[in-house]
A and B are shown apart, each in its own frame.
Chain A
């Protein structure tokens, strides 16, 4: 993915004269980075981006930060003004390595062509190893023009790669003995399981099947355990299900696998799962005890630790506390009975939850990939769509980047040309990278843009309603385009639907159309996303849809984001 400019012209000139590298021309550098993220997350490979110097590089900052927060491996290669002009405020000069230092895993400025090959090899190694992340290589124009010696990948010293620490077996045994005795256990999995790969996913599923423990996942972890699995509790956290959050709060044994106790997960820290023994599997030592102090940190690659854990647990006789476990399941099933995702449907207006539910129902049998933007629609998609396999769900979790989903869907479709790729969007998010319609059309990418149009910044509106005295400051989308005409302007299909009775047919029409589609789904404008753990509250203090919200957010909670 990429878009060119003066300082990267020599590279594009070489691209023109070869056939091995396929380049997708995007319309904005931010979109290039998100498309690379979509490509990387849906394949497990590394996404690559070319941008030019100055504005090209600064535009890539959002995507780099997004990839850093969600541990997505991408390599950005940026053009730079020639070495002898660096520091002179040259045209389209920016201190790219300075600007991107805090938003990359590592970055390099290459001042010598002889070091270019080595640096590029290192860049890919760093991006993909350990906890994956974005890297940037800044290449001045004179370095691009000059010839130099090529260094082969296997000639490079690997001393820059952090070694995975060996597994602490005493700690592991302690954790297993707690697992065997656990009365109210829960497994909480995150994006690390998916990043670790298929063997980690398989191990996780084996562990759940073997122990019969309940399992919940973070937003990033959806798909690590199949949504149709019998132990699945749904997503946890701020907009997680009642049963997932109550189980997290009341458990006595928590096995956190490849997740990082983010504030959207924990709610109030000092009331987070107060009575549990916590085991934390993570490849990044800095994730341990960052937000939540755990009892048994196990540092290393999730798939390795899990396979050792399962092997040792089996050696010890595959024991679990069956009697207490069935009582625990009984209370979990009681919580499930509350049906926290319930909403009041309507026959006159499309409820956004209903729209996502129907989308799920009509597309789940397809070879399907889903991306989202950020906001209410994202949470509804996470709540109402089921993912059976990993790498099928691409969303901006850590950074919460509106405008992520459309370019991500482009990257996904490039990687999976024959699959059904749907971006579940809100109209405000979608407009932030709508220029990518050009890319979709140019490369004939049949991405389906399913826009839940409430003419609002829905999540902002919800917070203003709950926290700011219903003063809806600037949270409505005035002057929206006619999405159908917009689609037609690009020569693609536009569908508008505002009648619940027409929804199924319209969705089928979208699926059946062989090219890109903008689906303008006009939904209820004032719907709130529940359940919700208000900021500064504990897991067992969720607001459910029908309850009163009076005083549910304290003064202290109101200052949190």
Chain B
């Protein structure tokens, strides 16, 4: 009756079988309105890790203190099928009131804030300040050996600035992750 399988013949992962027609993956920005109660972020994050979804960026803060509502903005990557699953799974959670797919809904304003610490002398120091001016970054702290810049913009803009600063003495970066809202007069 035995199938006489040789040991170690399973080269393929089972996951390859599950979805043979892999669709293209795309990044989606989801805006999730939740009750601001203890554990709500853990629920959302737990859903992503438990079901194997990606989180590229995540921000959360209370946006309606009277209604105790927070907005969670998550950037995630997946096939259309996976993105639909994520939205359906999120919608199923009791403290989740609304899930808005900003990527599907139309144009959205997406912004991120970052702080860069650049330690340099001489020409490099001057050059970092000049480039910061080009990017309209603000100097929020300074010593004789360093500048700390604050920059707000799209994630790409922040990436570009970080790349330019790297050879000029960039020591540390702190980024907030993306926040986003729909353009236009519609509330999302």
Interface residues of A (CB under 8 A from B): 97-98, 101-102, 105-106, 109, 126, 160, 162, 268-270, 284-286, 288-290, 293, 465-470, 528, 536, 549-553, 555-560
Contact = CB atoms under 8 A, between A and B. Distances in A.
B85 interface: yes
12 contacts: A268-B17, A269-B18, A286-B88, A286-B89, A286-B92, A288-B88, A466-B3, A528-B1, A550-B3, A555-B10, A558-B5, A560-B17
A422 B50 CA distance: 36
Contacts of A465: 1-2
Interface string B79-106: 0010011001101111100000000000
Interface residues of B, number: 34
A551 B4 CA distance: 8
Contacts of A109: 38-39
A287 to B, nearest CB: 8
Given A101-B43, A270-B20, A290-B85, A160 B4 contact: no
A126 B46 CA distance: 20
Contact of B1 (A105, A269, A536, A549): A549
Interface of B: 1-5, 9-14, 16-21, 38-39, 42-43, 46-47, 50, 81, 84-85, 88-89, 91-95
Given A102-B46, A286-B89, A559-B13, 18 more contacts: A97-B39, A101-B39, A102-B47, A126-B94, A160-B95, A269-B20, A284-B92, A285-B91, A288-B88, A466-B3, A467-B5, A469-B5, A549-B1, A549-B3, A550-B3, A555-B10, A559-B10, A560-B17
A458 to B, nearest CB: 14
A559 B14 contact: yes
A536 B3 CA distance: 14
A551 B42 CA distance: 46
Contacts of B85: 286, 289-290
Q: Which of A98, A286, A468, A560 has the most CB of B within 10 A?
A: A286
Contacts of B38: 109
Contact of B12 (A268, A284, A467, A559): A559
A466 B1 contact: yes
A290 B81 CA distance: 8
A553 B2 CA distance: 10
Smallest CB-CB A-B distances: 8 pairs: A286-B88, A106-B94, A559-B14, A559-B10, A285-B88, A555-B9, A470-B2, A286-B89
Contacts of A556: 10, 12, 14, 16-17
Contacts of A160: 94-95
B48 to A, nearest CB: 11
Contacts of B20: 269-270
Nearest to A286: B88
Given A101-B43, A160-B94, A290-B85, A467 B10 contact: no
B42 A101 contact: yes
Nearest to B84: A289
